[in-house]
Each structure stands twice: as C-alpha cells, then as structure tokens.
Chains A and B, each alone.
Chain A
C-alpha cells in the first residue's frame, strides 16, 4: 500500500513536469522539464522493481539524449520559440485536439477504474537484477540485440551524412 502512495506522489510530479514541457515558451526550459520527467520515470521504474531500466533511463535518456537536445537548441540559437498562433485554415485544430485528448483520457480512466477487472494474474516475483536482464539479453533476445546494433550504426551514418556540408 505504501508503494501506491509513493507512486501517486511521483505521478503528480511527473504530470506537472510534462505540463511544464507542454506550456513553456523557451525550448531550454522545456528540455529541462523533460529531463525532470525522465528522472521521475526512473524512480517509478525503481518502485516497480526494474533497477536496470532505471539506471539505463538516467544514463541514456536523461543523459545522452537530452544532452543532444540541449546542444542542438543552443547550437541553433532557437531558444525563443515562435508564438503559437494557428496557421490559416487550421483554426479548428486546437479545440479538436483538446477534445479528443480529454476523450482518450476519460476512456482509459473508464477501462482502468470503472470496468471491473476480469482476471488479476499475480505470479511470484521474478529475478529482475541486472544480471538476470543481461542473461536474457544475450540468450533469448540475442537476435533483436544484433538488429538494434545495426540500427544504431545506420542512424550514426545517417546523422553524419545529413549534417555534412555540401558544396
């Protein structure tokens, strides 16, 4: 039960930082709100018994990816975002987006809380230590692991080719 209290507090912080990302007018502030959101996500992973993912979340997401974002924002000098007026011909877009988003939220709340849950499968907790995750990664998931390494190579070459100076 105490897990739930911690999760509710973390969830409130998480939603607040996501709203900060959505509403901030400065790209750097938005990136920092996103870093905060990722760190809170890492703590939620810890509560949910996933220590390996919590560390990967901090080092890869909050570390590498967000450093790349902040670097690009400052390199371009694009901190000040343009005022967010509607483009001509899309005036219906904003109210429609808000309406559909609220509808999606209500629907998921209904499915999770109102509708009686059918079958709660509770098995005994498995070993989720980094050692167990590593063994799974290099035995059962060896092929996806190799495919992902190819994907990262392709992304690296793509990024180099795209940003090359063409004369």
Chain B
C-alpha cells in the first residue's frame, strides 16, 4: 500500500463520517459543519491523486473547491442567522414549512 491509496481511503472514511453527521444530527449548524468535513475529504482525495500522478491539476481543483466552500459558508450562515431570527431555533425539524 502506498501513501496515495492510504490517503484516498482516509478521505473516504472522513466522507462517511461527514455523511453520518448530515443524516444523524438535527441542528443546521452541525449539518453545515459536516458538509465542510465532506468537502475537505474530497480535497484530500484530489491532492492524493495529484501526488500519485505527478500533476498539478489536482491541486488547482482543490484551490477552487476551497473558494466555493468559502462562498457557500458565507451564504449558508447568513441563511441560518435569518432563520434563527424568526424561528428561535437551529433544528432542521422546525423548518418543515416554506412560509416564513
């Protein structure tokens, strides 16, 4: 087993933990942090493949994924703040209706 295969396996373990977080936790904040964990796991796989293939393209993709994650966090946290103002809760079970 070489370093790249191990990191790809580690990335799949972290991804599964992130999926568990999204599915099992009921707080929107925890769901959101688990999504960040999944994005980070995908980045690990990208860097591992870039290392294995001796190419820079994988690293460039990680850079763009990080930028998109930053944009996603800005908008997502703004949504959570707005929802908390009206519902006084961050539980996703309280968000079962479309009408504010």
Contacts and interface: CB of A to CB of B under 8 A. Distances in A.
A155 B74 contact: yes
B80 A72 contact: yes
A22 B26 CA distance: 11
B37 A18 contact: yes
Nearest to A86: B26
Interface residues of B, number: 69
Contacts of A109: 9
Contacts of B82: 162-163
Interface in B78-100: 78-82, 84, 89-91, 93
Interface string A66-107: 001100110110100110100100000110011001101100
Interface in A86-141: 87, 93-94, 97-98, 101-102, 104-105, 108-109, 112-113, 117, 120-126, 128, 132-133, 136-137, 140-141
Given A47-B3, A125-B54, A53 B10 contact: no
Given A41-B40, A148-B68, A163-B78, A19 B33 contact: no
A158 B81 contact: no
Given A49-B51, A61-B66, A104-B12, A133 B37 contact: no
A28 to B, nearest CB: 10
A152 B67 contact: yes
Given A41-B43, A68-B73, A14 B10 contact: yes
Contacts of B26: 81-82, 84, 87
A47 B4 CA distance: 11
**Interface size, A (range):** 35 or more
Query: Main secondary structure on chain A at its contact with chain B?
Result: helix
Contact of B59 (A53, A82, A120): A53
Contacts of A163: 78, 81-82
Contact of A97 (B13, B24, B91): B24
A72 B33 contact: no
Contact of A7 (B3, B34, B40, B59): B3
29 contacts: A4-B1, A7-B3, A11-B7, A11-B13, A18-B17, A21-B34, A34-B36, A34-B37, A41-B40, A48-B51, A49-B51, A50-B51, A53-B59, A72-B77, A82-B91, A87-B26, A93-B23, A101-B16, A108-B9, A108-B12, A117-B5, A123-B53, A123-B55, A124-B54, A126-B54, A133-B63, A148-B67, A162-B75, A163-B78
